[in-house]
């Protein structure tokens, strides 16, 4: 098994990561970092030829966002209402395989002599390029150059160009293109963050199609019942004889080529995946054939051009430029690139905690989407943000069903973790109990409507979700004898504290949620009576409900400790014993791998930002002094064992003037995966932390806050940087913010005009005066 301490040092380059040695030690990790994806297909960065290194140093995974197998969850001691079915992202057939034989010797970089080796993942072309020179044990020397892409323009497609040049011989080579369906998922073992509990193969062979340059493997998942077609078409430049072979679920096209010394042979492979999650079963094969035929007719170079165009547009909207810190510049672009590679954009899929780069957290979607990842897409690519919201709307019927299972007569309760909408959390104290997921979703809808002004969305979908989810607070809360509204027996964001009464974050977010739901209802009733009647009928809204929501919100109990003058994480948190940090050895972190949950729950110790997150999301409800005191208190008891933590601490540190801390926490987030600081990047990237980097710049250093649709900035420049710059979509305009020394330049790049605040001063940009520079 790969050591947790592995990290790979890449040259600090602004637009790529580059590896210059073939390393078995870091191979598992590199597979994640060099993974390619397009929000649907994910190919780990394993080499086309496979890998013969030591056991446990590779996971040659291929994933399809939203394509899952399901399995029953078995509880030896069951209880009513526990999640019954797990869904997990499957490792699907590996269609990228290309083996190379020089006469009778198989190319393997771990045999013979590797003279040179370089692999580059380029964030502007989206192409993974590998070049090497190698001499076989019997002295045949070749140059190999391969390029791989997963198309951003065509969801179902990936392509590889593989070129071999014999350098010191003429004779025969063989290129074997394969689709390997004998694949299975990684087993989870003791780490809850790793893989799924399933063992063995989930995909069963249904049929195959094979012709000289084409193969398709047709399989069905055993329990979820989906049909999957994995197909590839190959194209070889040169004179070759082609044969086919198949051994159960592994198919090959074998090209035998007569080669001349110094002359290159090029194999191009187009691969695709189609499943019955997207289309009718009868269409899958013909769709695959059509996609591959179109791609082959265009050719690999044309696909690269499409890829570059897509990325040029993406960077044009999403790029964050930082000068003065190359490590950071590389980290932030790497993160944004991986976010784009990970995010589902068809309205039926979302973004999982590890994207499509690995099996950690089983491909599940969490609140990570709404609270961490959503802002990045909302302000950079609002059309993608909207797709994430569409996904939640599609899950509303199942969320209603889940609410009934949880004995709520009304409303909808979203699952803590899921793929297709059912609750998949088998450990309810840190799963289902996190009811804040409902408020998190409502929060993202509010943010979306305020940033885009898209009222149609609210009328069509948003209002229904917000009202249905708000009702759950009325189902689980109650007034106490002093008339305060209490929410008991929930878990807040901090997973080192569970099943508590009045978690500050939950209550404060529930209050926002209830007020938002009531405001929507009141405004519609007053301004759009027909829409109001339609939506009220849809959710069977009682006319008294909005007033009840307002009252519960107004009376919401928000725990505050008068002696410490801080917000209490919940009713009991501050009365617990503080964790003995001084006597906890370094190797006992993360605590979750070394202590029974109850041991952790008995103490004041946080895995991640909880109250501190509320300080960010509900920024205007706190004074700066509140924020500073809360930060100081909770920082001292937080382990940051969750990768979701540091970015939030960085942002609040920046706001309260702790510039050194803001910078350090930010650095931890920005290169969390590149430097493998959590020691588990080999199981997949951490998408929430990646997006947390973007928040760290916009919310943290630039001090951006959006309160009720009004935007304000309070920029500061970390002393390590010369300048930074980012762009944002707001109210239909595109704004560029550039912070340079003491000055900030705001430029309106698109749109008629935009108004916002800069350090309390109103700024208005218009087409006539699109640029303002302020101190």
- Give min distance, CB of 642 to ligand BGC, in A: 4
Among 507, 642, 676, 725, binds ligand BGC (CB under 6 A): 642
The dihedral over CA atoms of 585, 589, 595, 598, expressed in degrees to the nearest 10, equals 120
- Give min distance, CB of 423 to ligand BGC, in A: 14
Binding flag, residue 649, ligand BGC (CB under 6 A)? no
Q: Which is nearer to ligand BGC, 265 or 644 (CB)?
A: 644
Binding flag, residue 365, ligand BGC (CB under 6 A)? no
Say which residues have a Cβ less than 8 Å from residue 84's Cβ, sequence separation at least 6: 72, 73
- What is the Cα–Cα distance from 443 to 371, expressed in whole angstroms? 8
> Which contacts qualify for 305-309: CB closer than 8 Å, 24 or more apart?
306/151, 306/152, 306/153, 307/125, 307/126, 307/127, 307/149, 307/151, 307/152, 307/153, 308/124, 308/125, 308/126
The answer to whether the beta carbons of residues 399 and 57 sit under 8 Å apart is no
- What is the Cα–Cα distance from 214 to 206, expressed in whole angstroms? 17
**DSSP per-residue codes, 748-769:** EEESSEEEEEETTEEEEEESSS
Window contacting ligand BGC (CB under 6 A); options: 294-302, 360-368, 398-406, 463-471: 360-368
Contact characters 487-506, ligand BGC, x per CB under 6 A = ------x-x-----------
Residue 728 half-sphere exposure toward CB, CA atoms < 13 A? 25
Binding flag, residue 361, ligand BGC (CB under 6 A)? yes
- Give min distance, CB of 645 to ligand BGC, in A: 8
Residue 274's DSSP bridge partners are 229
Binding flag, residue 165, ligand BGC (CB under 6 A)? no
Output b/e per residue, 153-179; b: 16+ Cβ within 10 A. Answer: ebbbbbbbbbbbbbeebeeebbbbbbb
- Give min distance, CB of 564 to ligand BGC, in A: 25
| Number of residues lying near ligand BGC (CB under 6 A) | 12
Q: Which is nearer to ligand BGC, 49 or 495 (CB)?
A: 495
Per CB under 6 A, which of residues 294..333 are in contact with ligand BGC?
none
Q: Which is nearer to ligand BGC, 642 or 676 (CB)?
A: 642
Per CB under 6 A, which of residues 436..465 are in contact with ligand BGC?
none
Among 367, 573, 579, 701, binds ligand BGC (CB under 6 A): 367
Q: Which is nearer to ligand BGC, 132 or 353 (CB)?
A: 353
Say which residues have a Cβ less than 8 Å from residue 523's Cβ, sequence separation at least 6: none
3-state class (DSSP) for residue 221: strand
Is 456 annotated for ligand binding?
no
Window contacting ligand BGC (CB under 6 A); options: 41-49, 145-153, 364-372, 660-668: 364-372
Binding flag, residue 162, ligand BGC (CB under 6 A)? no
Q: Mapped to the 3 state alphabet, what secondary structure does 47-95 carry?
A: CCCCCCCCCCCCCCCEEECCCEEEEECCCCCCCCCCCCEEEEECCCCEE
- What is the Cα–Cα distance from 371 to 694, expressed in whole angstroms? 13
Q: Which is nearer to ligand BGC, 45 or 493 (CB)?
A: 493
Among 318, 420, 637, 644, binds ligand BGC (CB under 6 A): 644
- What is the Cα–Cα distance from 543 to 538, expressed in whole angstroms? 13
Among 132, 322, 353, 433, binds ligand BGC (CB under 6 A): 353
Q: Is 495 a catalytic residue?
A: yes
Binding flag, residue 681, ligand BGC (CB under 6 A)? no
Q: Which is nearer to ligand BGC, 259 or 600 (CB)?
A: 600
Q: Which is nearer to ligand BGC, 233 or 642 (CB)?
A: 642
Which residue stretches of 528-594 are H helix?
529-539, 545-554
Q: Which is nearer to ligand BGC, 535 or 591 (CB)?
A: 591
Window contacting ligand BGC (CB under 6 A); options: 78-86, 361-369, 382-390, 611-619: 361-369
- What is the Cα–Cα distance from 154 to 41, expressed in whole angstroms? 10
Binding flag, residue 514, ligand BGC (CB under 6 A)? no
Binding flag, residue 617, ligand BGC (CB under 6 A)? no
- What is the Cα–Cα distance from 760 to 714, expressed in whole angstroms? 8
Q: Which is nearer to ligand BGC, 122 or 495 (CB)?
A: 495
> Which residue among 48, 69, 362, 495 is the active-site one?
495
Window contacting ligand BGC (CB under 6 A); options: 366-374, 469-477, 483-491, 632-640: 366-374
- Give min distance, CB of 684 to ligand BGC, in A: 10
- Give min distance, CB of 400 to ligand BGC, in A: 23
- What is the Cα–Cα distance from 767 to 753, expressed in whole angstroms? 6
Among 368, 464, 468, 630, binds ligand BGC (CB under 6 A): 368
- Give min distance, CB of 643 to ligand BGC, in A: 7
Dihedral pair phi/psi, residue 27, rounded to 5°: -60, -45
- Give min distance, CB of 92 to ligand BGC, in A: 22
Binding flag, residue 680, ligand BGC (CB under 6 A)? no
Window contacting ligand BGC (CB under 6 A); options: 30-38, 154-162, 362-370, 616-624: 362-370
> Which has the closest alpha carbon to 590: 175, 75, 194, 21?
194
Among 444, 469, 507, 608, binds ligand BGC (CB under 6 A): 608
Continuous segment of H or E residues that includes residue 128: strand 128-135
- Give min distance, CB of 441 to ligand BGC, in A: 13
- Give min distance, CB of 449 to ligand BGC, in A: 24
Is 367 annotated for ligand binding?
yes
- Give min distance, CB of 126 to ligand BGC, in A: 25
Say which residues have a Cβ less than 8 Å from residue 700's Cβ, sequence separation at least 6: 647, 650, 651, 653, 654, 655, 662, 666
Say which residues have a Cβ less than 8 Å from residue 694's Cβ, sequence separation at least 6: 320, 332, 335, 336, 375, 376, 380, 726
- What is the Cα–Cα distance from 221 to 329, expressed in whole angstroms? 42
- What is the Cα–Cα distance from 61 to 184, expressed in whole angstroms? 9
Q: Which is nearer to ligand BGC, 493 or 770 (CB)?
A: 493
Among 63, 270, 366, 663, binds ligand BGC (CB under 6 A): 366
Per CB under 6 A, which of residues 685..744 are in contact with ligand BGC?
688
Contact characters 552-591, ligand BGC, x per CB under 6 A = ----------------------------------------
Binding flag, residue 509, ligand BGC (CB under 6 A)? no
Say which residues have a Cβ less than 8 Å from residue 430's Cβ, sequence separation at least 6: 491, 495, 498, 597
> Which has the closest alpha carbon to 62: 87, 29, 37, 86?
37
Binding flag, residue 17, ligand BGC (CB under 6 A)? no
3-state class (DSSP) for residue 702: coil
Q: Strand pairing of 68-72 and 85-89?
A: antiparallel
Binding flag, residue 607, ligand BGC (CB under 6 A)? yes
Say which residues have a Cβ less than 8 Å from residue 494's Cβ, sequence separation at least 6: 569, 606, 607, 608, 609, 610
Q: Strand pairing of 62-64 and 41-43?
A: antiparallel
Q: Which is nearer to ligand BGC, 353 or 672 (CB)?
A: 353
Contacting positions for ligand BGC (CB under 6 A) = 353, 361, 366-368, 493, 495, 607-608, 642, 644, 688
Residues classed as catalytic: 495
Binding site, annotated residues for substrate: 367-368, 607-608
Binding residues: 367-368, 607-608
């Amino acid at each position: 098994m790969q050591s947790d301490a592995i990290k790979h040092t890449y040259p600090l380059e602004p637009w790529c990561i580059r590896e210059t040695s073939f390393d078995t030690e870091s191979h598992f990790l590199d597979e994640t970092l060099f993974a390619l994806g397009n929000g649907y297909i994910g190919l780990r960065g394993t080499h086309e030829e496979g890998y013969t290194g030591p056991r446990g140093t590779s996971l040659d995974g291929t994933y399809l966002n939203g394509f899952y197998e399901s399995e029953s969850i078995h509880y030896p001691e069951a209880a009513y209402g526990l999640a019954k079915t797990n869904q997990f992202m499957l490792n699907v057939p590996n269609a990228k395989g290309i083996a190379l034989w020089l006469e009778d010797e198989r190319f393997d970089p771990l045999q013979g002599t590797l003279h040179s080796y370089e692999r580059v993942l380029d964030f502007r072309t989206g192409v993974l390029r590998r070049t090497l020179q190698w001499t076989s044990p019997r002295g045949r020397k070749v140059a190999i150059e391969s390029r791989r892409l997963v198309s951003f323009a065509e969801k179902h497609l990936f392509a590889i160009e593989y070129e071999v040049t014999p350098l010191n011989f003429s004779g025969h080579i063989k290129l074997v293109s394969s689709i390997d369906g004998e694949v299975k998922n990684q087993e989870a073992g003791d780490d809850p963050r790793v893989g799924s509990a399933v063992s063995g193969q989930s995909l069963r062979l249904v049929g195959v199609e094979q012709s000289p340059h084409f193969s398709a493997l047709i399989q069905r998942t055993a329990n979820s019942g989906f049909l999957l077609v994995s197909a590839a078409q190959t194209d070889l430049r040169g004179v070759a004889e082609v044969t086919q072979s198949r051994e159960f679920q592994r198919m090959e096209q074998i090209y035998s080529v007569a080669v001349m010394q110094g002359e290159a042979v090029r194999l191009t492979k187009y691969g695709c995946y189609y499943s019955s999650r997207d289309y009718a079963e009868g269409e899958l094969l013909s769709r695959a054939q059509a996609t591959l035929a179109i791609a082959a007719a265009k050719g690999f170079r044309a696909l690269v051009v499409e890829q570059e165009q897509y990325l040029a547009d993406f960077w044009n909207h999403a790029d964050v430029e930082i000068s003065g810190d190359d490590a950071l510049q590389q980290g932030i672009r790497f993160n944004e690139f991986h976010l784009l590679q990970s995010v589902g954009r068809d309205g039926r899929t979302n973004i999982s905690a590890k994207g499509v780069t690995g099996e950690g957290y089983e491909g599940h979607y969490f609140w990570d989407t709404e609270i961490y990842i959503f802002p990045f897409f909302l302000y950079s690519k609002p059309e993608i943000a909207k797709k994430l919201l569409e996904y939640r709307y599609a899950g509303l019927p199942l969320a209603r069903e889940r609410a009934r299972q949880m004995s709520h007569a009304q409303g909808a309760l979203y699952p803590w973790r899921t793929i297709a909408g059912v609750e998949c959390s088998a450990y309810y104290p840190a799963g289902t109990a996190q009811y804040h997921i409902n408020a998190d979703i409502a929060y993202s809808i509010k943010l979306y409507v305020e940033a885009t002004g898209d009222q149609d969305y609210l009328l069509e979908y948003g209002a229904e979700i917000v009202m249905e989810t708000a009702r759950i607070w009325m189902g689980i809360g109650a007034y106490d004898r002093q008339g305060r509204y209490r929410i008991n027996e929930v878990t807040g964001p901090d997973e080192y504290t569970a099943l508590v009464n009045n978690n500050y974050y939950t209550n404060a977010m529930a209050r926002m949620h209830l007020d938002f739901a009531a405001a929507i209802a009141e405004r519609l009733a007053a301004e759009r009576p027909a829409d109001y009647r339609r939506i009220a009928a849809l959710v069977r809204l009682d006319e008294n409900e909005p007033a009840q929501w307002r009252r519960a919100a107004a009376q919401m109990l928000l725990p505050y400790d008068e002696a410490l003058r801080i917000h209490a994480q919940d009713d009991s948190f501050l009365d617990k014993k503080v964790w003995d940090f001084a006597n906890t050895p370094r190797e006992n972190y993360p605590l979750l791998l070394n202590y029974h949950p109850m041991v952790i729950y008995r103490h004041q110790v946080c895995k991640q930002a909880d109250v501190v997150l509320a300080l960010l999301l509900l920024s205007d409800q706190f004074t700066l002094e509140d924020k500073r005191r809360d930060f100081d208190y909770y920082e001292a008891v937080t382990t940051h064992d969750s990768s979701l933590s540091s970015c939030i601490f960085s942002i609040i540190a920046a706001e309260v003037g702790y510039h050194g801390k803001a910078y350090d926490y930010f650095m931890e987030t920005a290169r969390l995966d590149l430097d493998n600081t959590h020691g588990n990047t080999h199981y997949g990237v951490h998408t929430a932390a990646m997006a947390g980097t973007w928040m760290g710049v916009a919310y943290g250093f630039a001090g951006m806050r959006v309160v009720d649709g009004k935007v304000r900035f309070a920029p500061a420049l970390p002393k390590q940087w010369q300048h930074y710059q980012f762009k944002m979509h707001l109210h239909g305009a595109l704004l560029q913010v550039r912070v340079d020394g003491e000055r900030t330049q705001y430029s309106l790049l698109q749109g008629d005009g935009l108004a916002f605040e800069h350090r309390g001063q109103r700024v208005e940009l218009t087409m006539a005066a699109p640029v303002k520079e302020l101190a």
